[in-house]
Structure 1
Amino acid sequence: MSDAEYHRRTSITRLTVSPEDETLLRDTVSAWKRGCQVAVDRAWRQCRSPFEVQKLAYDDVRERASLGSQHAVLACHQAAENIQSCISRHQMGRKASRPTYTSPTVTYDTRTMTLFPEREQVSLTTLGDHSRVQADLELPEGEEGHQNQYIDSEKWETTESSLHYRDGGWFLHLGFRKLKAETAETTENGTVLGVDLGIESLAVTSTAYFFSGRELNHNLREFEKVRAGLQQTGTRSSHRTLEQSSGRELRYVRDVLHRASNAIITEALRYECDVIVFENLTHIRDRTGASWGHKWAFRTLYEQVEYKAEAVGVSVEQVGSAYTSKRCAECGFTADENRPTRNDFQCVKCESEANADYNAAKNIGMRYVRRGQQSSRRTGNSQLALKSGTVTLSGGFTAHPDGFEAEFTDKPNPKCANPSG
């Protein structure tokens, strides 16, 4: 089965490790970094696929890094992934030098790691094929113990995970996956919430909820300045400071994304939506002019919304991104001139005016509504959630009950022959 058929989650838990085992883990981390570097140096400008890198570098990794057989394979695959990332950056006209491995981390899979949920322990391979350590999982109790919903569940299976050393402790990033449920029939006949992601506003919904991205944008730029300065210095001290700064940046961004994803879920529940729809994220960096940090943030936000939505019975989908920023959500007319500035949308045909991100959010949601009616089954009968009500593909409008704030731009424009496009 392909990755698209699975839900994936990462659950982070701290480990209790004995002094003797900690020494083994430190040696394993050092060997892992050395193995990845050997594989990259051997395959750089030679090949890029995991199979090719493994074939070329496996024996060197085993000999020079003292890794067990499976960890040597994983190191080759890690090197291939990083080489491919560098090639992709070059293809987009960006600089990318040969990867170097300095972070205290090591990758594990189901052959090199065994989880014992009943004992709240994990067994990890160290140097050699048969050398293992056992560590206790420090799992919080009650609502804070979110890891248990994956560890104790028969629906979620363990996948590739990673061990990290930071802030004086060992942390295991456990990977889980489960098959996606069939939800197409439900979502094709439900209420849709469209979501647009951007720079000025991190997220805007078709119900006119705006989650500001200004603070995140500013702080990502500041982190980038600090990172560039430390990288240029190049001393051992600056490298330690760089790792600390990267950790602070990661925690800050995850907190912002946690609040944003919660806000989107709250909005979906308030308007009784069955599906949350984003535009396809594949080329979002080029479309928005976002930094690498933003691209990562967009992807992480989507994943957070996906797993939080699943917990409340709401599905999450993606639609094509073409012209969502230049198409009028009122009349369907598409032109570059419709968007005179980053923030403003002014249709040159029907003269409708709106915030550009809000207009795009409605287009994204309506594209999913349209897709249901254009499918081979033609069973879709969904509607788009707006701030004041819901609108169907044919332009039918149903106002929300009292207590919801109306907004005139949600209603069909008299000048538009086909309000839904």
Structure 2
Amino acid sequence: MKLVVRIKLLPTPVQAAALEATLYACNEAATWAAHVAFDEKTAKPLALRKHTYQQIKTRWNLGAQAAQHAIKKTCDAYITLRANLRNGNYGKPGSQRYEKAAGKPVTFRADAAQPYDDRMLSWQHEQRTVSIWTTVGRMKNVAFTGEPGQLAVVAAHRKGESDLLCRGGQWYLLVTCDIAEADGNARPVGFVGVDLGIVNIATTSTGKRHCGRRLNRRREADRKLRTKLQKKNTKSAKRRAKKHAGKEKRRARDINHKISKRIVTEAQRIGRGIALEDLVGIRERARLRKPQRVTLHSWSFHQLGAFIAYKAKRAGVPVVYVNPAYTSRECSCCHHIEKANRPSQAVFVCRSCGFAEHADRNSSHNISHRGWYAWVRGAESQAPALTLIA
């Protein structure tokens, strides 16, 4: 399986200046290549290379590999743009947003990531340094650091390209690693159902509940601060807004990593698989009042599900996805479905058998049952391994 590890570089001021100049030149060249691709109506690497390769090398003083990567990055950006337009992520054809995205060339930020291959980047793991190509020549002895476990993964499993990235004045290398998957558990004794929500980020059928009230309060405070700074619109307000930009995203990502690790570790310990709801398209299906929409759209359920899936795959824990319809209204004891079974957000009381339980806990049991049925049907068709990749 592919895993991306972020390694922090510790360049000297002179080395940092060289890296900054390199990123600027590569992204400026990629932006110019994107304009050529837009004018020539071509975004295929071979055709675009004929129009731009020599000019990029001479005009921006890029090496052969750097020029190739700048052209490939441009082509990949147009492939992504076409896919987003085709999937309706920019609205319907003819809409203002669609035409704005499709009617102008792609541009790259001055500090956008630049890919490096083994010809441009070499590692000295014992010395914890790298030798990296720049526009002023090969720069050696650039120190790096990281968590010991991550450094061990990079030393043992690094494969493919690494991306040079600058964020907030800090330099990073995003390293692609190819890690062998653990042997999957072909005979799980059951499934841990995971109910994802907003009040409770994740509730498992084993009784664990990860509350989201604290995170939601922080999100609300961040939104109020962001609105206040945008209204003020002074230089100091813009500086403060920039300082806080991405803080909420990083916080949610950290919480999702911790929750997913606990869920996968528990499932591995008790020999069970993990059952998740298939929530694709929930934002389009849900009909909410305006104040509730902000909360729904800031809910990073997809990221949490992705973290659980890749951690489970690495640990050999099977994952299945189930239909989420009526999991919150169905009784986990008698399976009676009725809207009145949910008198409030947190309470579930079955109108048929009288079973009472916390609503999210009841939903997690339903997800667990459906996960087991999905696994049995998959096992009967001799295709249970596909659920590991889902």
Q: Provide the TM-score with structure 1 as the length reference.
A: 0.67
TM-aligned CA deviation for residue 202 of structure 1: 0.7
Give the direction of change, closer, same or farther, for the CA distance of 1:366–1:259 in structure 2 (3 Å limit): same
User: 1:361-372 residue pairs with structure 2 within 5 A?
Assistant: 361-372=364-375
**For the Cα contact (< 8 Å) 2:7–2:144, is it kept in 1?**
yes
**For the Cα contact (< 8 Å) 1:15–1:135, is it kept in 2?**
no
**One-letter code aligned to 2:333:** E
Separation (CA, whole Å) in 1 of partners of 2:279 and 2:160:
24
Tell me the equivalent position of 1:146.
Answer: 149
CA deviations 1:178-209 (Å, max 9, x no partner) are 353452xx244333211121111111101121
2:323 pairs with one of 316, 321, 324: 321
Relative contact order: is structure 1 or structure 2 higher (C-alpha 8 Å, sep ≥ 6)? 2
Tell me the equivalent position of 1:158.
Answer: 159
Q: Secondary structure at the match of 1:149?
A: helix
CA deviations 1:118-163 (Å, max 9, x no partner) are 45344444459xx5544535235xxx4121231122xx34345433
**One-letter code aligned to 1:166:** R
Q: Secondary structure at the match of 1:147?
A: helix
**One-letter code aligned to 1:374:** R
2:360 pairs with one of 342, 357, 360: 357
Is it true that 1:244 corresponds to 2:243 in the alignment? yes
TM-aligned CA deviation for residue 13 of structure 1: 1.8
Runs of at least 5 residues in structure 1 that lack an aligned partner in the other structure: 1-5, 381-421
**For the Cα contact (< 8 Å) 2:182–2:313, is it kept in 1?**
no
**One-letter code aligned to 2:366:** N
Q: Secondary structure at the match of 2:172?
A: strand
**One-letter code aligned to 1:319:** Y
Cα RMSD (Å) of the superposition? 4.3
Give the direction of change, closer, same or farther, for the CA distance of 1:76–1:246 in structure 2 (3 Å limit): farther
TM-aligned CA deviation for residue 36 of structure 1: 5.6
TM-aligned CA deviation for residue 351 of structure 1: 4.3
**One-letter code aligned to 1:329:** S
Give the direction of change, closer, same or farther, for the CA distance of 1:157–1:222 in structure 2 (3 Å limit): same
Tell me the equivalent position of 1:216.
Answer: 215
User: 1:335-414 residue pairs with structure 2 within 5 A?
Assistant: 338-339=341-342, 341-375=344-378, 377=380
User: 1:20-419 residue pairs with structure 2 within 5 A?
Assistant: 20-35=14-29, 37=31, 52=43, 59=51, 63=55, 66=60, 68-81=67-80, 84-85=83-84, 88-91=88-91, 98=101, 101-102=108-109, 104-108=111-115, 110=117, 114-116=121-123, 118-119=125-126, 120-127=128-135, 132-134=138-140, 136-140=142-146, 144-153=147-156, 156-183=157-184, 186-227=185-226, 241-265=240-264, 267-268=266-267, 272-286=270-284, 291-295=296-300, 298-306=301-309, 309=312, 313=315, 315-323=317-325, 324-334=327-337, 338-339=341-342, 341-375=344-378, 377=380
**For the Cα contact (< 8 Å) 2:312–2:319, is it kept in 1?**
no
Q: Provide the TM-score with structure 2 as the length reference.
A: 0.71
**One-letter code aligned to 1:147:** Q
**For the Cα contact (< 8 Å) 1:227–1:242, is it kept in 2?**
yes
Separation (CA, whole Å) in 1 of partners of 2:361 and 2:276:
13
Q: Secondary structure at the match of 1:10?
A: strand
Separation (CA, whole Å) in 2 of partners of 1:182 and 1:10:
21
**For the Cα contact (< 8 Å) 1:40–1:83, is it kept in 2?**
no
Separation (CA, whole Å) in 2 of partners of 1:292 and 1:199:
11
Give the direction of change, closer, same or farther, for the CA distance of 1:189–1:352 in structure 2 (3 Å limit): same
Q: Secondary structure at the match of 1:331?
A: coil
Separation (CA, whole Å) in 2 of partners of 1:310 and 1:177:
13
Give the direction of change, closer, same or farther, for the CA distance of 1:112–1:303 in structure 2 (3 Å limit): farther
CA deviations 1:346-404 (Å, max 9, x no partner) are 44544434333222222222222112322353799xxxxxxxxxxxxxxxxxxxxxxxx
Q: Secondary structure at the match of 1:89?
A: coil
**For the Cα contact (< 8 Å) 2:27–2:70, is it kept in 1?**
no
TM-aligned CA deviation for residue 77 of structure 1: 1.3
CA deviations 1:103-128 (Å, max 9, x no partner) are 73313153675442545344444459
Separation (CA, whole Å) in 1 of partners of 2:25 and 2:228:
29
Give the direction of change, closer, same or farther, for the CA distance of 1:343–1:163 in structure 2 (3 Å limit): farther
CA deviations 1:39-88 (Å, max 9, x no partner) are 676778x99xxx84758876469857846122221133135435644764
Give the direction of change, closer, same or farther, for the CA distance of 1:254–1:354 in structure 2 (3 Å limit): same
Give the direction of change, closer, same or farther, for the CA distance of 1:322–1:266 in structure 2 (3 Å limit): closer
Q: Secondary structure at the match of 1:259?
A: helix
Separation (CA, whole Å) in 1 of partners of 2:159 and 2:179:
9
Q: Which moved more, 1:362-371 or 1:253-262?
A: 253-262
Runs of at least 5 residues in structure 2 that lack an aligned partner in the other structure: 287-292, 384-390
Report which of the two has the higher share of helix: 2
Q: Which moved more, 1:73-82 or 1:92-101?
A: 92-101
